[in-house]
Structure formats: structure tokens, C-alpha cells
Structure 1
Amino acid sequence: MLPRVIKPMLAKLSEPFDSPRFLYEIKWDGTRALFFLEGSALRIQNRRLRDITYRYPEFWGLPQLFSRSGLVLDGEIVVLSGGRPSFRLLQEREHVASRVKIEALSRRLPATYMVFDLLYLEGRSLMETPLRERRRILREILPESPYLVESRYVLEKGRAFFEKVVSEGFEGVMAKDLESPYLPGKRVDFWLKFKARGRCTCLIVGYLLRPDGTLKSLLLAEPTPEGLVYRGRAASGLSLPEADRLLSRLRALEVPSPPLLRGRRFPQGARWVSPELSCVVSYQEVTSEGRFRAPVVEKVEGL
């Protein structure tokens, strides 16, 4: 009997490194999901422990392809475009409830499950088994399917692999200790992630305050040939002394209304400023709404 839910194991952020103790695989930019296979039944659980089986009819026939049962797989659901995961296309699959639309999207934008771990086999937990052995067994039992792919890995050469992966347009790399157990819900040094980030010089167009009057986040806009494009808010990267100094400068630049911005859904309670201060921001990607995903302020002009 398989457990009802399992919290996925998590990773810490790290700079790229080389080590014979670790495997290195692509960090797939998708939806983290555990597949529970018992007999002919499939149940898909996302990172929030919700059942999302209904969203992906293309996966429903996978249990019939396995020669073993009582399985729990860990991996990422992706929608590929040109051989790379497209977060935008995946979002189209994630936010649909209509059965008719779900079935249509499963044909137009089929998903692929990139499998990278095996947690149960024939109803028996493998989570105390070293990752090296779990991956060996996974490769042995994984059937051929256009919807099911093993996340392949390299050994030792983490830095070179990261550079190659990023140059080909992927999000980053996962580094995993070959001798490590699977620790549900834990974020530990056994799993590390190397992430590529974009950088942009933006103008500060406003800010938000916390209830105690300290600086909460900056509102950013990117200068483009079409004008200032709103890129959202950034709340991390500044030390407390830097935030205090910056707030004094921002107060002196306040204006009654926002500058002319391309974009929408500006935050309530925003204090707008004349766009005179620039900052360098790193980010994971630009979302379909034109916002920076996971932005970090790296430098503010003159601060």
C-alpha cells in the first residue's frame, strides 16, 4: 500500500562545482510532480500535495507500460518547445478546469514527465536506499513512451555541464549526492541547484512600505524603445542600512502619480517616484505578464 502523499525533497541554491560524489542533471523548468502507480491506476501529486491527475490525460495509460507496480516516481512535468521546456506553454496546461479544454490541450500541447527518482517499488520504500542505486533501478524499469523520459545525468563535471546547459537555453543544473537518501520535505545539502539568471538595468519608478515604515520593495521598469515597461517589484538584495539610505533618496523623488508605464496590475499602496535612480537587477526569467521572476537587486546607482 502506497502512502497517500509524500512531500518532495527540496534543494538548496549553490554556485557550480565539480565533485565525483555528485551527479549533475538539467534543472527542468516545469511542475514538480510525484506519480503514484498502483495496478492500472495513476495518481499525480504536485508540490503542494494536490491531486492534479485530471489535468494530464496523456499520462493516464502509463501504468499499463510498466512491468512492475506499487511505484512512486519523482520528476517534473514539462511542455517542450524546440526540445526545451516552455514555462509559458506549461502555464496554459496548469490553469484549465474544463474537461473538453483539458483534452484538447493534451493533444495540442502534450506534456512530458522527466523522471529523476524512484521512491517506491512494488509497495516498498526505497527512500533509505542511496540515490546511486535508486537511479540504477529506475533506468531498468522505465518503459519507452513519448510522455515519459528519464532525466539523464553526467558525473563529476558540474561546472562544464552547467555552462553547456545554460548556453543551450536551459534554466540550470541540479547536483545530487550519489550516496544520499530521499528526505521528504527536507531542503538539505544532498541536493543543490545551479541557476542561470538574467540581468537588466532598470529604473526605480516607485516603492512599497512595510507597516513599520521601512522599505518593503522597489517597483521597477525597464527602459525600451517603446518606453518604460513595468517589470514588477523586487524585495531582496539590499541590506538594512542600504534600504534605509535608499528610502531617504526615494522620498525626495516622490511624485503624485506614476510615470508613463507600459504594463498593468500595479500594486495598491504604491508610492511613485520620478524615474531618476537606476539599479542592476538579476532575475530568473521574464514571465508571460512581463514581470521578472525571482528578482534580486544587485546594485543601486550611487548607493
Structure 2
Amino acid sequence: MESMLFASIKPMLATVGDEPFDDEDFLFEPKWDGARMLLHKQGERIEAYTRSGRRVTDKFPELKEAALAIIAEQAVLDCEGVCMNGGRAVFDDFAYRLRLGDSRRIAAAARSHPASWIAFDVLATTREHLREPLHDRKRIVNECIEPSERLSPCAFLMGRGKALYDWTKEHRLEGIVAKRRYSGYQAGVVSADWIKVKHPVEIDAIILGYRMLPVFAFVIGLHFRTVRFKPVGLVEAGISAEQRAAFLGIVAGGLHAKQEGTTQWLKPALCCRIEYRDRSDWHELSGTTFKGFLPDKRVDDCMWTY
């Protein structure tokens, strides 16, 4: 336990699935849209580490309250840090909290964007639990925590992934995570024992450019609060031959700006609707599909939806 407590540990990570499923060998959790964190507690001391191992305790005064909810004398808990708004976790609010460094701004943000943590696994208490099956670790998580506003165990369903997927869509959550109930905890491993299935999201974007090779694709961008025309990804899927030909005919009429490698950048004038399945902490979109051109959409209106 001593080697794990207050040490930087990379958490176990999930693979990506396309569709929800039912399976009695799996339990299913809501996927919360925040940031992965490991909370280490011993006595009155608590420390928080990000997925990359960075210590961020000082950014979250709320951790003192979260520590009171951990009734175990010592524990290493795998959690999602979230900022809730209207019953749902808002990723950008928690990302804002992580960017702050000034103590006065941190104190103000703790009031305006309070953070909380949802614990879904335990790596250690007075002993390591990595090799114990997940359904036993879930029981230990519940034994370690007296739920509070700042820290609570993650709810889950046994075997019924489709029902939970529908529920999370209804409540505008990010999706679900399927976890094999007898699996151990593999720190730092992307494991097929955990499978995340996210809801597709549609957004209107600016076509900033395109490439012809190796596959035809649009370079798409969005406006953010602090930066305009930020590239956020490529879109290859869903573009028909007819749509590609029509697009190339339009941009040939004077929208070309500059060529960089295989990318032809454009003067920002065209918008489109895309669907994406995943988004990085830096708003890079993946699992993208083209849904159609938006000839009446103003470029200035293609904003990231906070």
C-alpha cells in the first residue's frame, strides 16, 4: 500500500464501442463528462492526481469536504471529477477549474463552479485490490464512502446496458461504460474489459479546408470563447461523390487561401453539420461523420456549445 499511496498512478482505460449491449457478465455505469482523477486519502490528508499523474489538490478547496465522505482510514479511489449544472456534468466547467492557478480565482471558482467527485473503483485501502474482481471492488467503494454532495459512489446496472444507454440519452449524459464484472484493475492499460459507448453528437462547423489524400476529407473548425476558427478535426465518412464534386466546384470559384502539405486551406465561408462520437480534452473531435452542407448558416454562428 505504501508504494501506491500518494504516488502518481496511471488509471485503467476503456476501449471504444459503437453500440450498447446487454450481457450478464458486465455491469454498466453512466459515463460522466468531466476529468479522470485518482483521490488518495490517509487520515486527514487527501491528494488529487489527474489521469497523467499531475497533482492538482490545490486547485480544488472542495477536496477537504470530499475527504470527510471517505470513512475508510486510507484509500486510493478512481473517480471522475465533475462540475454539475442542471443535473448534468459540464466538461468545460471542470476543464476551466483545472486551468486555474491563482488562489483568489480558485476560491471564486469553487463558489461559482463547485466540483464534486464520482467514485467508480478502488485501487487500495489498507491493502491493494487490483487483482480482486470488479464486483468485489464495487462493494468496497460503497464501504469506503458515506455519500455527500462532494463525493459519492457511481451507480451501475447489472447486465442492462441498453436500458442505461437510453436513460443517459434522455438525461443528456455522455454515454455508458460497460465493465466486465470479474475483471481486475490494470493500471495504465487500455483494456477490452472496459468499453465506453458514447452518444453521437451533432454540431454545426466551419469548413476551414480539405485534403485529397490519402482520403478526401474536410478540415472543420469552430469558434470558442477565447479563439476563433480553431481546427477541431477531419471528416471523411458520409461525404458522397456528388457532394465532393459540388464542393470542389464551389471552392474553385475563389475560396482557396493557401496550400500546406496535403491540406488546402480555404477562406472561411462554408458551413456543414457533422456528427461526432468522441472529443478530447482539447476539443479535438473523432468518430466524425458528415451530415450535410448548411448554405444558409453564418460562419460566425458556428460556436462550440458549452
Residues 274-285 of structure 1: matches in 2 within 5 Å? 281-284=274-277
Distance 2:206 2:103 in 1: 44
The 3 A distance-change label for structure 1 pair 282 and 231 is farther
Q: Which residue of 2 aligns with 1:127?
A: 130
Tell me which residue corresponds to 1:9: 12
Please name the residue that 1:38 is paired with. Answer: 42
In the alignment, is residue 294 of structure 1 matched against residue 293 of structure 2? no
Offset of residue 253 of structure 1 = 3.3
How far apart in 1 are the matches of 2:216 and 2:106? 39
- The answer (yes or no) to whether the contact 1:217–1:233 under 8 Å persists in 2 is no
CA distance in 1, matches of 2:248, 2:11: 42
Residues 70-149 of structure 1 mapped to structure 2, 5 A cutoff: 70-122=74-126, 124-149=127-152
Q: 1:127 and 1:84 mapped to 2: Cα distance?
A: 30
Letter aligned with residue 6 of structure 1: I
1:193 aligns with 2:191: no
CA shift, 1:102, in A, is 0.5
Q: Render the CA deviation track for 1:57-82: whole Å, top value 9, x for unaligned.
A: 11134434434223100010000001
TM (norm. structure 1) is 0.78
Q: Give yes or no for contact 1:19–1:157 (8 Å, CA) kept in 2.
A: yes
- The answer to whether the Cα contact below 8 Å between 2:183 and 2:193 also exists between their aligned partners in 1 is yes
Determine the structure 1 residue equivalent to 2:167. Answer: 164
Provide the C-alpha distance between the structure 2 equivalents of 1:90 and 1:37, rounded to a whole number of angstroms.
21
Give the match for residue 181 of structure 1.
184
Identity %: 27
Question: Using the alignment, how far apart are the partners of 2:109 and 2:270 within structure 1?
Answer: 44
Report the equivalent of 2:218: 218
Report how far residue 232 of structure 1 moved.
3.6
Give SS of 1:125's match.
coil
Q: Give the distance between the partners of 2:120 and 2:153, measured in 1 at CA.
A: 6
The 1:255/1:275 distance shift into structure 2, 3 A limit, reads farther
The answer for the alignment partner of 1:55 in structure 2 is 59
From the superposition, tell whether residues 217 and 47 of structure 1 become closer, same or farther in structure 2 (CA, over 3 Å). Answer: farther
In structure 2, how many angstroms separate the alpha carbons of the residues matched to 1:180 and 1:152?
18
2:286 maps to a residue whose letter is A
Amino acid aligned to 2:218: L
Distance change in 2, residues 1:231/1:255 (3 Å): farther
Pair 216,60 (structure 1): closer, same or farther in 2 beyond 3 Å = farther
* Count of equivalent residues: 281
Which consecutive residues of structure 2, in runs of 5 or more, have no partner in the other structure? 223-227, 294-306
Q: Is the 8 A contact 1:203 1:277 kept in 2?
A: yes
**Using a 3 Å threshold, how does the CA distance of structure 1 residues 112 and 64 change in structure 2: closer, same or farther?**
closer
In 1, Cα distance between the equivalents of 2:161 and 2:74? 34
Contact 2:178 2:195 in 1 (8 A): yes
Change in Cα spacing, 1:100 to 1:128, as seen in structure 2 (3 Å) is: same
Contact residue 38 and residue 78 of structure 2 kept, 8 A: yes
CA contact (8 A) 1:207 1:215 kept: no
Look up the equivalent residue of 1:49 and give its one-letter code: G
- Aligned partner of 1:23 in structure 2 is 27
What per-residue deviation string (whole Å, max 9, x for no partner) do you get for residues 130-177 of structure 1? Answer: 000000111122123210011101111111210121121111001111
Q: Aligned partners of 2:123 and 2:202: how far apart in 1? A: 38
Deviation at 1:34, TM superposition (A): 0.3
Corresponding residue of 1:226: none
Correspondence for 1:253 among 251, 254, 276: 251
Q: CA deviation at 1:129?
A: 0.3
| Unpaired segments ≥5 residues, structure 1 | 223-228, 260-266
Q: 1:233 to 1:112 in 2, by over 3 A?
A: closer
